[in-house]
Amino acid sequence: LLLLLLWLFVARMDLRQLDPELRRYLRVTRLPEVYEALLAGLAIMQPINPCKWIAEKLFYLQEVGISQIDWDSFIDEEMKPKESPFAIKGVTGLFGGDMGQFGKDIDAPSPEMISRAYQHYNRKSFRRHFDSWLQFHLYRRRRLVEKRRILAKADGHFFQTKVGQIFGTWLEWTRFRKGRQAMAYQILQRVLHVSVVRVMFKAWHGVSLEARKTREYFERELRRLERGDNVTEDEVLSKSTGEARDDLSLVSESLRQQILRHLSLADMSRAACVCRAWKAHTQSSELLHKLDFGQVRQHLTPLVAKKFLAQSGPMLGHLSLAGCRDLPLEVFQCIGACRNLQDVNLSECASLTDDAVGQIVQGCPLLIYVNLSFTGISDNSLRLVAKHAENVRFLSLASCQQLSDRGLQFLAQGQGVHKLELLDLSEGVQFSSDAIVHLASKCHKIKHLMFNDMYNMQSACLMEVASHCPSVEHYELFGCSSLTDDSFRAISNRSLRVLKLDKNDIITDAAFGHLGRRCPELHQLCVADCVRVTDQALKAIGQLRYIRVLNLADCVRLSDAGARASPRRRSPSRCASSTSPTPSASPTTE
């Protein structure tokens, strides 16, 4: 036990820090092994007398020598344990690892330790490697997932870009196709239009040709029936009969009509008596367009007039019955049936009544020219004219003694009064100034005004008329003897072209001053028999540059000197001067 304590004491001290001298001593003498062997023997054999046992053993050692010592050298064979009771290091371990030179290296690890360490190391390394591998694996997996995600995104982007490109191309193409289609549509439409028009035109052409043929056929038939025979046109013109071989029949239709147009109705009737062919010639529609009974009024009977009118019918455009004094109402009724009549001259038709006028204006809505001068019509006629003849532009009411102010009022209320361009109220002395002015105020477009022989026409009235009708170009004031210089001032305007008056003792040279200054367009001036006109007037007239007709007959104060001194002398060829009816007083222009 003491030894054990001693060993413990020794064990507790760090042998490695011992003096090297001592350590060498311990190594050479192998004392630690001796102690270990003793201790191991004591511990296992447990002798009753340890001191005696130790002494025995030390004697034995002295005999044997120290080199044969081992840790179990003092233990009996049957009690020898497998391992030293002093664990791995044992007593020898106390002296460090550098004792190998006298035994095996006590510091070297045992196989168990190595295997343990190896196992430990192996486990650790395995774990580390496994961890790294796991990390790496996870990392790769993450990389893979990320890569897939990016790839999917790229795919989507690529797809979208591609789709966008394709869509753009497609859009362009569609637009192009659309444009082409629109163009083609237009072309097709144009072609269709043209072909439709062509077809329509062809059809129309065919129809009109057909219509012409039909008309010609019926005209031919009509003529034949009128002649009362059964021969055809060809037979009429055939050589066998000898008819229609004259010069007139052989010239062309239009030329023949031009020739026949110069004949009066009487001559035409005579020509119609020559032969059947000539009769047919005189009855062409072109020749029936214009009928002038005025030239044949002595021979005209109601029956003939009616026959001509019925023949012309709708073809009649111009009709003159001037001077046909005793025509009955039936004739005027026949005129009413000519619905395309434009001009009708009824002047001096003494038998003309209001009824007759009514028949004519109701039947002929296209009337433009109506001459009712020198007839016995009353206000009622004017009412009918104003009501029905809305297109009348030229209206002559000269010398209609039965008319009164009421008639002019009717006229002023008419629908077409503003279209009136010519109004002839000559010799209408019965009309009051107010009625004339009222009518004139409605006629804005009037260009020709005729107030001949209205000796009672006052200056004030004419001035008012002139203020309402500024565009009058033509004034006829023959015999208006009470007009003054002022009224000439009023009618002097740029538009004035023709001015005619005579037998006026009031106007002076001042009137010509107005004309000279304000009527540059005046080209016809007739101032006959005005006694107060002097050479001064000639000077004023000299300013009128366009004057072509100048009548100063019977203006007795004019002198040769004045005529010669007139500032602008016209060449005789350009100025058609009017000669005075009395050769004695002819101081007129060249």
Ligand X SMILES: *[C@@H]1O[C@H](CO)[C@@H](O)[C@H](O)[C@H]1NC(C)=O
Which residues contribute to the site for ligand X (CB under 6 A)? 230, 294, 320, 322, 343, 345, 347-348, 369, 371, 373-374, 394, 396, 422, 424, 470-471, 493-495
For residue 65, give the 3-state DSSP assignment.
coil
CB of 328 to ligand X, least distance (A): 20
- Per the DSSP assignment, residues forming a β-bridge with 526 are 500, 551
CB of 294 to ligand X, least distance (A): 5
CB of 231 to ligand X, least distance (A): 9
CB of 191 to ligand X, least distance (A): 50
User: How, if at all, do strands 549-551 and 524-528 pair?
Assistant: parallel
CB of 226 to ligand X, least distance (A): 14
**Residue (57 or 489) nearer to ligand X, CB:** 489
- Per the DSSP assignment, residues forming a β-bridge with 474 are 448, 498
**Residue (322 or 357) nearer to ligand X, CB:** 322
Query: Could you give the angle at which helices 379-388 and 354-363 cross, rounded to 10 degrees?
Result: 10
CB of 396 to ligand X, least distance (A): 4
Per the CB < 8 A criterion, the answer to whether 462 and 437 are in contact is no
**Residue (354 or 521) nearer to ligand X, CB:** 521
CB of 560 to ligand X, least distance (A): 34
Distances (CA, A) of 323 to 212, 327, 341, 387: 39, 10, 19, 26
**Residue (94 or 469) nearer to ligand X, CB:** 469
Question: If you search the block for the tokens 């009412």, which residue do you land on?
Answer: 383
**Residue (320 or 589) nearer to ligand X, CB:** 320
**Residue (347 or 504) nearer to ligand X, CB:** 347
**Residue (94 or 287) nearer to ligand X, CB:** 287
**Residue (38 or 296) nearer to ligand X, CB:** 296
**Residue (339 or 494) nearer to ligand X, CB:** 494
CB of 232 to ligand X, least distance (A): 9
- Per the DSSP assignment, residues forming a β-bridge with 476 are 450, 500
Distances (CA, A) of 244 to 233, 248, 249: 10, 8, 5
What 3 state SS string does 512-558 have?
HHHHHHHCCCCCEEEEECCCCCCHHHHHHHCCCCCCCEEECCCCCCC
Q: Which residues of 233-257 are buried (b: 16+ CB within 10 A; e: fewer)?
A: beebeeeeeebbeeeebeeeeeebb
CB of 375 to ligand X, least distance (A): 9
**Residue (40 or 466) nearer to ligand X, CB:** 466
CA dist., res. 413 & res. 226, Å (int): 48
CB of 206 to ligand X, least distance (A): 28
CB of 537 to ligand X, least distance (A): 20
CA dist., res. 40 & res. 71, Å (int): 7
- In a 10 Å sphere around its CB, with 0-12 CB exposed, 13-18 middle and 19+ buried, how is residue 537 labelled? buried
Q: Which of 326, 344, 327 is nearest to 336 (CA)?
A: 344
* Alpha helices, DSSP H, located in 415-492: 433-442, 459-468, 485-491
Q: Which residues of 65-98 are buried (b: 16+ CB within 10 A; e: fewer)?
A: eeeebebbbbbeeeeeeeebebeeebbbbbbbee
Residues 6+ apart with CB under 8 A from 328: 302, 351
**Residue (442 or 532) nearer to ligand X, CB:** 442
Which tokens hold the place of 153?
């995104």
**Residue (57 or 447) nearer to ligand X, CB:** 447
CA dist., res. 522 & res. 496, Å (int): 6
Residues 6+ apart with CB under 8 A from 534: 509, 557, 558, 562
**Residue (53 or 394) nearer to ligand X, CB:** 394
Per the CB < 8 A criterion, the answer to whether 82 and 47 are in contact is no
**Residue (32 or 294) nearer to ligand X, CB:** 294
- Per the DSSP assignment, residues forming a β-bridge with 550 are 525, 577
CB of 467 to ligand X, least distance (A): 7
CB of 510 to ligand X, least distance (A): 15
CB of 412 to ligand X, least distance (A): 19
Residue nearest to ligand X (CB): 347
Distances (CA, A) of 518 to 491, 504, 514, 541: 10, 21, 6, 11
CA dist., res. 49 & res. 39, Å (int): 14
**Residue (543 or 588) nearer to ligand X, CB:** 543
CB of 585 to ligand X, least distance (A): 27
The residue type found at 154 is A
For residue 5, give the 3-state DSSP assignment.
helix
